[in-house]
């Protein structure tokens, strides 16, 4: 059992929903609570925060990975209503969608920065957007990685996610389900392309390079409801993680509940 103080100093993470219909992730350490992305309406985000025992007044900042609607569209209204500062890369900030945000701040994608008590390392990723970044969070000697919306794993990206205690990793699609599925050819090309989303095998490839001794939790994120299935993801991921690593799959409606790292 953790004492009150230890509990307060535990880095923890929860998803409020994950997938192409909307994403939002909470990162909490001591008095700092960051919302990473929101593709949900203001009302839905408020409701889902409430389910996790968090009120909008507690939010330190919102952090945006890129301008796609499933990550961005809910950010301006919530941030303005609750007077929350928003952080994103310069490239993302030049998108017209960012104009409405009152407290807009930019980080330099090449350097770590801090929000409250959490250090954040942006990691530039190949994705069909202006300056997409994913993130590594360090707090309380623990390390959390969030890596979704990336078309392929580069050596640079792999190097940045080596030492995570917990990794939230995209398992977007199965190649065969995508190829034989109902998407039009252009969308198949986009999703499966080098600037699209990770397929299960690509995610597995990254897993093989990680420090398995450190990795206590792996969560599969951003699954396509159309072109993937949980049993395939489960099977693929479990091949490449040790018995010591707990594995979960985040879903579109409920994400996953708090994980204390």
Q: Which is nearer to Zn ion, 109 or 117 (CB)?
A: 109
CB count, 10 Å around CB of 184?
8
Q: Which is nearer to Zn ion, 76 or 151 (CB)?
A: 151
Least distance CB 131 / Zn ion (angstroms): 12
Least distance CB 8 / Zn ion (angstroms): 32
Site for Zn ion in 124-153 (CB under 5 A): 149
Q: Which is nearer to Zn ion, 70 or 131 (CB)?
A: 70
Site for Zn ion in 148-187 (CB under 5 A): 149
The count of chain residues that interact with Zn ion, using the rule CB under 5 A, is 3
Q: Which is nearer to Zn ion, 121 or 252 (CB)?
A: 252
Least distance CB 144 / Zn ion (angstroms): 18
Least distance CB 95 / Zn ion (angstroms): 12
Site for Zn ion in 37-96 (CB under 5 A): 68, 70
Q: Which is nearer to Zn ion, 9 or 44 (CB)?
A: 44
DSSP string, the chain: ---HHHHHT--EEEEEE-STT--EEEEEETTEEEEE---S-HHHHHHHHHHTT--GGG--EEE-S-S-HHHHTTHHHHHHHHT--EEEEHHHHTSGGGGG-SSEEEE-TTS-EEETTEEEEEEE---SSSS-EEEEEEETTEEEEEE-S-SS--HHHHHHTTT-SEEEEE--B-HHHHHHSSS-HHHHHHHHSTTS--BHHHHHHHHHHS-TTT--EEEEE---TTT--HHHHHHHHHHSS-TTSEEEE-BTTTBEEEEE-
Least distance CB 71 / Zn ion (angstroms): 5
Least distance CB 70 / Zn ion (angstroms): 4
Q: Which is nearer to Zn ion, 48 or 68 (CB)?
A: 68
- Per CB under 5 A, residues contacting Zn ion are 68, 70, 149
């Amino acid at each position: 059992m953790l004492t009150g103080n230890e509990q307060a100093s535990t880095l923890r993470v929860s998803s409020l929903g994950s997938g192409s219909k909307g994403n939002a992730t909470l990162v909490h350490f001591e008095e700092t609570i960051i919302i990473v992305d929101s593709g949900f309406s203001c009302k839905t985000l408020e409701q889902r925060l409430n389910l996790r025992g968090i009120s909008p007044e507690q939010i330190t900042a919102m952090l945006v990975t890129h301008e796609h609607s499933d990550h961005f569209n809910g950010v301006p209204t919530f941030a303005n209503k609750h007077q929350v500062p928003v952080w994103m890369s310069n490239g993302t900030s030049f998108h017209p969608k960012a104009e409405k945000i009152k407290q807009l701040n930019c980080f330099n994608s090449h350097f770590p920065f801090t929000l409250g008590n959490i250090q954040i390392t942006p990691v530039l990723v190949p994705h069909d957007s202006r300056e997409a970044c994913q993130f590594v969070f360090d707090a309380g000697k623990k390390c959390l990685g969030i890596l979704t919306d990336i078309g392929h794993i580069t050596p640079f990206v792999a190097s940045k996610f080596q030492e995570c205690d917990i990794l939230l990793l995209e398992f977007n699609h199965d190649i065969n389900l995508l190829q034989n599925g109902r998407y039009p050819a252009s969308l198949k090309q986009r999703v499966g392309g080098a600037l699209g989303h990770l397929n299960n095998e690509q995610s597995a490839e990254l897993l093989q390079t990680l420090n398995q001794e450190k990795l206590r939790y792996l969560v599969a994120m951003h699954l396509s409801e159309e072109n993937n299935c949980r049993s395939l993801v489960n099977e693929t991921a479990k091949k490449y993680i040790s018995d010591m690593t707990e594995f979960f799959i985040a879903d579109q409606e409920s994400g996953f509940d708090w994980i204390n790292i």
